[in-house]
């Protein structure tokens, strides 16, 4: 992530915005796996470098909406390439059977985390 000038967790925030579009900070926290209490702190550097914009919800001024900027879209493919390379390196030494088992176990863990 350092090659993209991103810190741990920021890529998940950007991915959620790219995937779902503009979200409230609360929705963004839920979708990206960041605690609501730390979302403001997490967004500050992304906003400072022009990767996200925050605006007040016109229907409820207490709610902050967050959107990915065009500048962040330029990072999207680079980030996905980094993730793909990491995935390839992670499973490079596994046999096909081990890869299937690993994939099945990861899905089970993800489902368990989503149900909590």
The per-residue pLDDT for range 8-64, each reduced to its tens digit, is: 778 889 999 999 999 999 999 999 888 888 888 889 999 999 999 999 999 999 999
Provide the number of structural domains found in the chain. Answer: 1
CA 47 to chain centroid? 15
Distance CA 51, CA 37 (A): 20
The pLDDT assigned to 110 comes to 81
Domain residue limits at 93: 2-114
Percent of the chain with pLDDT strictly greater than 90: 53
Alpha-carbon span 90 to 14, nearest angstrom? 23
Q: What residues does 23 pair with on adjacent strands? A: 66
CATH number of the domain within which 99 lies: 1.10.10.10
The yes-or-no verdict on residue 88 having pLDDT over 60 is yes
Does residue 1 have a pLDDT over 60?
Answer: no
Q: Which residue carries 């368990």 as its tokens?
A: 112
Nearest C-alpha neighbor of 67 from the set 2, 10, 17, 15: 17
pLDDT of residue 4: 66
CB within 8 Å of 71: residues ≥ 6 apart: 50, 51
């Amino acid at each position: 992530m350092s090659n993209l000038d991103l810190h741990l967790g920021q890529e998940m925030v950007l991915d959620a915005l790219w995937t779902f579009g503009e979200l409230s900070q609360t929705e963004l926290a839920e979708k990206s796996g960041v605690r609501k209490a730390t979302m403001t702190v997490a967004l500050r550097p992304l906003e400072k470098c022009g990767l996200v914009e925050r605006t007040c919800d016109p229907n409820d001024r207490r709610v902050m909406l967050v959107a990915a900027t065009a500048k962040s879209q330029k990072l999207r493919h680079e980030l996905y390439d980094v993730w793909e390379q990491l995935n390839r390196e992670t499973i490079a030494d596994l046999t096909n059977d081990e890869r299937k088992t690993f994939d099945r176990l990861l899905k089970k863990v993800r489902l368990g985390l989503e149900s909590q």
